Structures are given as C-alpha cells and as structure tokens.
Structure 1
Amino acid sequence: MSDYIVGLTGGIGSGKTTVANLFAELGVTIIDADIIAREVVAPGSAGLQQIVEHFGTEMLNADGTLNRAKLRETVFAAAEERRWLNQLLHPMIRQRMLAQAQAATSPYAIMVVPLLFENGLECLVNHTLVIDIGKDTQIWRTIDRDHVSKTQVINIIDSQISREQRLAKADDVINNEGDVESLKSQILALHNNYLKQSEKAQ
C-alpha cells in the first residue's frame, strides 16, 4: 500500500488525464475516479440497474451500455436528480478508490478526482494538486475534446467550484497553459518532492 496519496484535481478540460499519464510514466500508481465511475455503471452492474429503475430505459444505448450524454444532460438540468445520482454512485466509487489505494505498489499514489473539493474527498488524501488553466482555455479545449456546445461547457464549469476557491484549497498547483516540456518539468519537480514526503510518511 502507498502511505502517501496525492489528490489530483482541476476543472473540466484542464488536462488532468495528461498530467496523470505523465506521472504514470514515472512509475506512479494512478487511481482514476472517472475510470472507476465507468466501472460502477458498466452493463450488469448494480449501479446501472438502479439508474435504469430510476430514470427509465431511455438512459441505455442500443447495446445496453449507459447513455452517458443523455444522463449528463438530465442531471445537469435538475439539481435534485444530480443529488440522487451522486448519492447512489459516490459511495461505490469511494469504496473502490480506497481498495485501489490499499493495493498500490509505488512509494506514493495519485488519486485523480475531478470533483475532489466539491465532494469533500480531500479527506481521503495527504496532499492536493490542482491543474490550473484560464476559463477561455478550459472552454475551447472541452468543446474541441467532447464536441459539446459552449453553453453545456459553461453549465459544467458553473456547477464546479470556482477557480479561485480551487486554487485557495490547493497544496500544489500545475499551470497547464504552456507546452508539454513546461508541464514535464513541473511534474518532475513535484514527483521528487512527493517521493521525499512519502518517505517521511512511512
């Protein structure tokens, strides 16, 4: 088990996956809440069954998988539906994240959690790392990646805590407005620091 866990977060489109992959290249165990969130609603899962019972079969694609776009659209339009979904999935996701942390073999592990602060999950980690970009960059990167409307991206940004609040809560910040080389040098410096911190934590 890794005794030292870094919680990696950032707004939508900030580059969390890119940063996590670069840490993984350095041999760090990555625990990704988004991957776990997909697993708990996979075909045949209790999570998917309860979603269909609650929202109806229109939440399913033809192949029986979850229609994530339809679900996202539904829950972002209604706060009480979003609360219901969170109360269903968050305990399942948290349980799996902790199990993966127990199984981690690197000196420290990184837990990638998009809504780390929003869902009060910083209590699960020793240290927080925020990936930061400006709002305009956030909007165009997300539109480019997800092929969604600007309105939908702004709704998602508005549903997350503000950039200022996120930065105020961060122990460390990576600026991801620059090129890959700038990103790699920031990550390497943090990696060396986290290795030292993990030695102290043992």
Structure 2
Amino acid sequence: MDSLEQLNQRLREGVRCDGDYPPVPGEGNPNSPVVLIGHSPSGTDAQTGRPYSGPAGELLDELLAEAGVKREELYITNLVKCWTWREENGLRVNRTPSAKEIKEWVPAWLKPELELIRPKAIVCMGGPTAQHFLGKDFKITLQGGQWLELPEDSPYLKLTGHRLDPKPFVMGVVQPNYLTHLQEHAPETYPAARANLVADLLKIKRVLEGKLPKPKAPKQEELDIPF
C-alpha cells in the first residue's frame, strides 16, 4: 500500500480536474487521531493546491485557534479532491459535488487515506459530508456538534466496504462559510453561531488529548441547514 505522501503524489501527478484544474490532496498530520473532511475544494484551494486555504480556511484556522487546536495537529481532506463548480453570471462558483462524483472519488482516494490514517474521530464539515458518513437522515440542527457512532448502514461503508478499525466516532459541524453567510444576511445570529462552532471544535481538543468521546444516539426530524 502507498504511504500517505505517495498516495497524494499519485493524485497530483495522475489526475486532472474539469477545467484543467489540479486536484487538491489532503494535508496535515498523518498520525492525527482526528480527520476533518469537507465535501470538495474551493476555487481558491484549486489554485493553491491546499484544502481550506481561502477565506473559509482562514476562518477555520481562527476558530480552531479559539478552541486551542492547531491546524497542523489535524489531517484535513475532502470527499472529492477536484473543485466542483458551476457557471453563474459568467463566473465559476463553488457547488456541492454530485452523488456520482462522490461515488467515483471516495473509494479511489478517501478510502485509502482513512485506511492509512486510521483516525479515532472524524469531523464532517457541513451537512452533505456528514450525511455521507451518518446517513441521509442526519440533521445539523439536531445532531450537529455531537459525537455519534458510525451506523452500520452508513453510505460510506456501503460505498467502500471499508470496515474502519478502529471504528471512529463521527461529528457533523457547520461549514465556516455558513458563518460568513450569517454575517452577511443575519448578523444578529452570528455571535451565537460562531460560539457554538467553537464549542464543537473544543471537542476535537479533548480527542487530541486522548479523551475519547461518549457518543449520543441520533435524533430525527427537523429542518436542516444547507451547509
């Protein structure tokens, strides 16, 4: 099996993305007990070759720092390694990857990443990523910020057949760009939402300190945040 460095080098050298952008491999501490996973790189990430390197990444770094976590203590990657974009008013803007794109990318690239890292905890950035691990009924508004056990019918497990060992705990949190959205469109809600996300990220620090979480049973039914 490739090392993580070899896997990422193979990705850089062997794959080109739509629009001839380079893929964006994961980065960080390959021995970290915690992996942060987004759904796909941004346009800025495609230019820099690094995940969470644009404004959302700068905000994520701020939030992690407030929680006492250094970015280099974690491993950060995405379900899909290419920038997924759509054209809007003549510009290319970010979009959520399709089920077909996830089906193509996850077994080929995310699965071997997780096999090599063997994390104790996975933090899913945003609803689409969390649903890939925790199922389509996962709701950020109800279960966000909670450590949950990876269900046996997890879409990730069904797609990859990967029986993760150790079996990681999984937490879904809102994307940093959700806070940016609130700051622009509902500024009165921004301080509380930011504080909530920092509180969620504090749970990462406990795992880094060797304190494994006690997961809660999932709840059902409520409106969700589309980030």
Which structure ranks higher in relative contact order (CA pairs < 8 Å, sequence separation ≥ 6)?
Answer: 1
Q: Which structure: greater helix fraction?
A: 1
Q: State TM-score, norm by structure 2.
A: 0.34
